Chains A and B, each alone.
Chain A
Amino acid sequence: MINVTIDGIKTSVPEGSTILKAAESIGVKIPTLCNHPDQAVKGNCRVCVCEVEGSRLLSAACVMPVWEGMAVKTRTPKVVEARKTILELILSNHPQDCLNCIRNQNCELQTLAEEYFIRDNPFSQKTRGMAKDYSTPALFRDPDKCILCRRCVEACSVVQSVNALGLDQRGHHAMVVPTMGWDLIDSPCVMCGQCIHACPVGAIGEVEEIDRLLAAIADPDTVVVTQIAPAVRVAIGEEVGLATGDMPMDVFAAGLRQIGFDYVLHTNFTADLTILEEGNELLKRLQEGGTLPMFTSCSPGWINFCETFYPDLLDNLSTCKSPQQMFGALAKTYWAEKSNIDPAKIYSVSIMPCTAKKYECSRPEMNDSGFRDVDLVLTTREIGRLFRMSGIDFDKLAGSHFDSWMGAYTGAAVIFGASGGVMEAALRTVYEVVTGQTLENVNFEVTRGIQGIKEAEVDLNGTVVKVAIANGLSNARQLMDEVRAGTSPYHFIEIMACPGGCIGGGGQPITKSNAKRVERINQIYVEDEACEIRKSHENPEVKAIYEEFLHEPLGHQSHHLLHTHYTAKNKKVL
C-alpha cells in the first residue's frame, strides 16, 4: 500500500493506483472528460489536472500513479484556473448548440461547464464548420461537436474490433473520422451504436425518427402497431426518472397507448417463435450434417459484422430472421388476418434497444409480407423522449394488457435481452424436444453474465452439444477466427454485437459503464423468474400460430416469412 495525502486527507491505496482512483476512494471528486470507466486511460483532455507537491507541472489525475508520500491538491486556485481555461478552450471550439442537441442535459461537457460556471468565455467562438454525416439509416455524426476524447475510437476498435473510426490530420485540424475520412456508410461500420455510449457529448447519435411516428399516429386511416423488444423494459425507466427495471410491463404498455399506439404487441412473442424455428434448425443441422457451428442471427449489428468481416461464414448463420423481422412479416399477414385489419393500413413500429435495427428494417429483402415488414424502428431513448414529451406520470398510470395473437410471451423470451439468453432459451426447449423429458431446473446459470465469452456443454440423451456465447464483437471475432481456422469445437454459438447483449444496445439509455449493463442483466432474470411460463414452446400464442398458420417449424410458411438469407458486404477496405 502507498501512503498519500490528498487535500490534506491521508490515505493508503494499492500500488499502481492513479491519483484519480486514490481521490475517489476518499470521496474527493476530480472532474474528468476523456476518462471512461471501462476503457484504457487516455489522459488527453487534461480536465483532471491537480497540483502535486514538488512539481512545477500539474498532473493529470487519471494517469499519474501515486508514489509513497505524494501530496496532492485538487482544488487550488492554480488548478481551478487551469481546468476552467481548458474547458473554455474546448467550449470555444464546440457549437453552442446545447438546446438543440441530442445530448442536451445528458452531456459530460455541459455538466462540467455548469459545474465550473463557464459564463463569458474569453476565447472567440470558432467551430470546425463540418457537415453532419447522415449517410447511414441508424447513426449520425456531428463532427463539429467532437472533443477528440477518442472514446468512440476505442469503443469501435478495442471493444468491437470494427475499426470504422480513426483520426485524421493533427493539431487543431485533428478530427475523428470514419475510414479514410469517408462517410460512415462507406466505412466498415456495423451500426451497433456503441460509439454513442462512449461519446461524452453529442458528436454521434441515433437517427431520430419520432416525427414519422407522430405523423402515423395523426393519420386516422393508419393503424399503428408496435412491438417491444425484450431488453427495452428493464432500461426504459432510466429515461423517465425511474430506477433500472422499475417500469412494470403493463404500465409500459399503458404508456404506449397514451402516446397513441393503436395496438401494443410484443417482440417477445417472436422471440419465443425464434426458439422454435432456430432450435429446430439446429437439430436439423446436427442430424443432417448441416454447416456447424450454427450462429444465432438475432443481432443485426452482428449480422452486419459477419457480412462485412466473415463473408465466408455466412452459411453458419441461422437463416432465422431476427425476432423484430419475424414480427414484422407476421404482423401484416397472420395478425392482420386474425384482427381483420387491412395490412396496407398497418404502420408497424418496433421499439428497440438497438440502432442497427433501424438499418435492418430497411434491408431490401425485408418485405415478405408484401409490404415493408417493419415501417419504423425507434430506440429506447426515442421512446423515452416521447414519454417525457407526453408528460406521462408512470407512478399514477394504471397498467394495460397487451393485445392478442402476438402479445403473449414466456420467460425464455424475456432473457433474449441479455447475453446468453437466446442460448438458455434454446436449451430449455431443445432439451425437452430431444429428450422428451420435462426440464425441472430451467436455469442455465453458466450462460449468464457480462463475461465476454462463455461456453457450456449440454448432454442431450447422450449427444453432447457444445455451445459458446460471445457479447461484444471483439469477443465474437475470437470465436469467428477459430471457426474460420477450423478449430472451433462448438456446435452452436450465440453472438450479440453489444457488450452484455441487447440490454447494452446502441439504442439504450446512455450507458456510461458496464456496471449499469450488469444491473440491467440482473433485472432481466428477475423478470424471467416472475414469468409463469418460462419455456418458449409452452407459449400458448406460439402454439396457436403453429396450429393455425405456420403448421410446423421450418415449414413452407416459416420458410417464406420467418427465414432469410445473407449477403457479403464487400466493403472497399476494412
Chain B
Amino acid sequence: MSYKGIIARYAEVPGGIIEAFHAVEKEFSFLPEEAIAEAARVFKVPAAEAYGVASFYSMFSTETRGKNIIRLCESAPCHIAGAAEVVAALEKELGIRMGESTNDGLFALEFTECVGQCQATPVITINSKPYLDVTPDIIPNILAEYK
C-alpha cells in the first residue's frame, strides 16, 4: 500500500499522526520524507512540525533501514545479564554495527530502552516480538526465522 493510502486511514483520528507514522513504518521500515510531508498535509500541521514529531520518537527513523528491526535492550537489568555479549554476537553475525542495516536490507540493528520483559534478561526484539534470555549461541537460530 502506498504511504498516501496508509496515512489517509488515520485522517479522522485527532492527533493521529503518530498512529499514521507507526503504520507507515510497518510497511516501509522508516518514514520517507514524502510520507512526513503527506502526514503534515493530512493532519494540517506544518511539515517542520511533522518532522519534529517523526524525529522525536526513537522507534521512528527518518532514514532507510532494514526490513526486520532488531532491537536490543541495554538498560541496567539487561546490561548486568550480559547484553554486551549479545551486542557483539549480533554485530558479528550480521556483519554490521549497532545503528546500521545489512546491505541486503533484511536487518536493522539498534539499541532500545527496556522492552518490559525483564523476567528473562537479556532481551532482544525483532519487529517488536520479544526473545528472552538471549545468549550469543542462540542468535543464529533466532535470525534464521527471518531469512
Direct A–B touching, Cβ under 8 Å = yes
* Cβ-based interface call for B48 (8 A): yes
- Determine if B51 and A168 form an interchain contact, defined as CB atoms under 8 angstroms apart: yes
A-B contacts counted at CB < 8 A amount to: 46
* Cβ-based interface call for B146 (8 A): no
Across the interface, B49 reaches (CB within 8 A) one of A163, A170, A178, A181, namely: A163
Q: How many angstroms from the CA of A273 to the CA of B64 in the assembled complex?
A: 56
A133 to chain B, nearest CB (A): 15
Give A157-178 as 1s and 0s: 1 = Cβ < 8 Å from B's Cβ atoms. Answer: 1000001111111100000011
Stretch at the interface among B7-15, B20-28, B32-40, B125-133: B32-40
Residues of chain A within 8 A (CB-CB) of B37 are 180, 572-573
* Cβ-based interface call for A574 (8 A): yes
Q: How many angstroms from the CA of A480 to the CA of B33 in the assembled complex?
A: 29
Residues of chain A within 8 A (CB-CB) of B52 are 166-168
Is chain B's binding surface mostly helix, strand, loop or mixed?
helix
Residues of chain A within 8 A (CB-CB) of B40 are 573
Across the interface, A166 reaches (CB within 8 A) one of B33, B49, B62, namely: B49
* Cβ-based interface call for A187 (8 A): yes
Residues of chain B within 8 A (CB-CB) of A181 are 51, 55, 62
* Cβ-based interface call for A274 (8 A): no
Residue of chain A at shortest CB distance from B56: A170
- Determine if A163 and B48 form an interchain contact, defined as CB atoms under 8 angstroms apart: yes
Please report which residues of chain B, range 55-70, place their CB below 8 angstroms from some CB of chain A when the two chains form the complex: 55-56, 62
* Cβ-based interface call for A59 (8 A): no
Q: How many angstroms from the CA of A163 to the CA of B52 in the assembled complex?
A: 12
- Determine if A574 and B51 form an interchain contact, defined as CB atoms under 8 angstroms apart: no
- Determine if B47 and A574 form an interchain contact, defined as CB atoms under 8 angstroms apart: yes
* Cβ-based interface call for B46 (8 A): yes
Residues of chain A within 8 A (CB-CB) of B33 are 180
* Cβ-based interface call for A268 (8 A): no
* Cβ-based interface call for A179 (8 A): yes
Residue of chain B at shortest CB distance from A180: B51
Is chain A's binding surface mostly helix, strand, loop or mixed?
mixed
Residues of chain B within 8 A (CB-CB) of A187 are 48
Please report which residues of chain A, range 126-177, place their CB below 8 angstroms from some CB of chain B when the two chains form the complex: 157, 163-170, 177
- Determine if A163 and B51 form an interchain contact, defined as CB atoms under 8 angstroms apart: no
Q: How many angstroms from the CA of A333 to the CA of B36 in the assembled complex?
A: 50
A141 to chain B, nearest CB (A): 14
Q: How many angstroms from the CA of A201 to the CA of B22 in the assembled complex?
A: 37
- Determine if B47 and A179 form an interchain contact, defined as CB atoms under 8 angstroms apart: yes
Q: How many angstroms from the CA of A270 to the CA of B37 in the assembled complex?
A: 42
Residue of chain B at shortest CB distance from A173: B55
Given contacts A572-B37, A573-B40, A574-B46, contact A179 B55 (CB under 8 A): no
Residues of chain B within 8 A (CB-CB) of A179 are 46-48, 51
Q: How many angstroms from the CA of A169 to the CA of B62 in the assembled complex?
A: 10
Across the interface, B56 reaches (CB within 8 A) one of A163, A165, A167, namely: A167
A61 to chain B, nearest CB (A): 27
- Determine if B47 and A180 form an interchain contact, defined as CB atoms under 8 angstroms apart: yes
- Determine if A180 and B56 form an interchain contact, defined as CB atoms under 8 angstroms apart: no
Q: How many angstroms from the CA of A354 to the CA of B62 in the assembled complex?
A: 35
Q: How many angstroms from the CA of A573 to the CA of B62 in the assembled complex?
A: 16
A181 to chain B, nearest CB (A): 7
Q: How many angstroms from the CA of A157 to the CA of B48 in the assembled complex?
A: 10
B50 to chain A, nearest CB (A): 8
Across the interface, B36 reaches (CB within 8 A) one of A167, A169, A180, namely: A180
Q: How many angstroms from the CA of A164 to the CA of B51 in the assembled complex?
A: 11
- Determine if A168 and B55 form an interchain contact, defined as CB atoms under 8 angstroms apart: yes
A213 to chain B, nearest CB (A): 34
- Determine if A178 and B55 form an interchain contact, defined as CB atoms under 8 angstroms apart: no
Given contacts A179-B51, A180-B33, A572-B37, contact A166 B46 (CB under 8 A): yes
Across the interface, A157 reaches (CB within 8 A) one of B46, B51, B56, B62, namely: B46
B67 to chain A, nearest CB (A): 24
Residue of chain A at shortest CB distance from B37: A573
Q: How many angstroms from the CA of A334 to the CA of B62 in the assembled complex?
A: 55
Residues of chain A within 8 A (CB-CB) of B46 are 157, 163, 166, 179, 574
Q: How many angstroms from the CA of A167 to the CA of B56 in the assembled complex?
A: 9
B19 to chain A, nearest CB (A): 19
- Determine if B55 and A165 form an interchain contact, defined as CB atoms under 8 angstroms apart: no
7 closest Cβ pairs, A-B complex: A166-B48, A163-B46, A573-B47, A167-B52, A573-B37, A179-B48, A166-B52
Residues of A within 8 A of B (CB): 157, 163-170, 177-181, 187, 572-574
Beyond A166-B48, A179-B48, A180-B51, 16 additional contacts (C-beta under 8 Å) are A166-B49, A166-B51, A166-B52, A167-B52, A168-B52, A169-B55, A170-B55, A177-B48, A179-B51, A180-B33, A181-B62, A572-B37, A573-B37, A573-B40, A573-B47, A574-B46
10 contacts between A and B (CB under 8 A): A163-B49, A164-B48, A169-B56, A170-B55, A177-B51, A179-B47, A573-B37, A573-B47, A574-B46, A574-B47
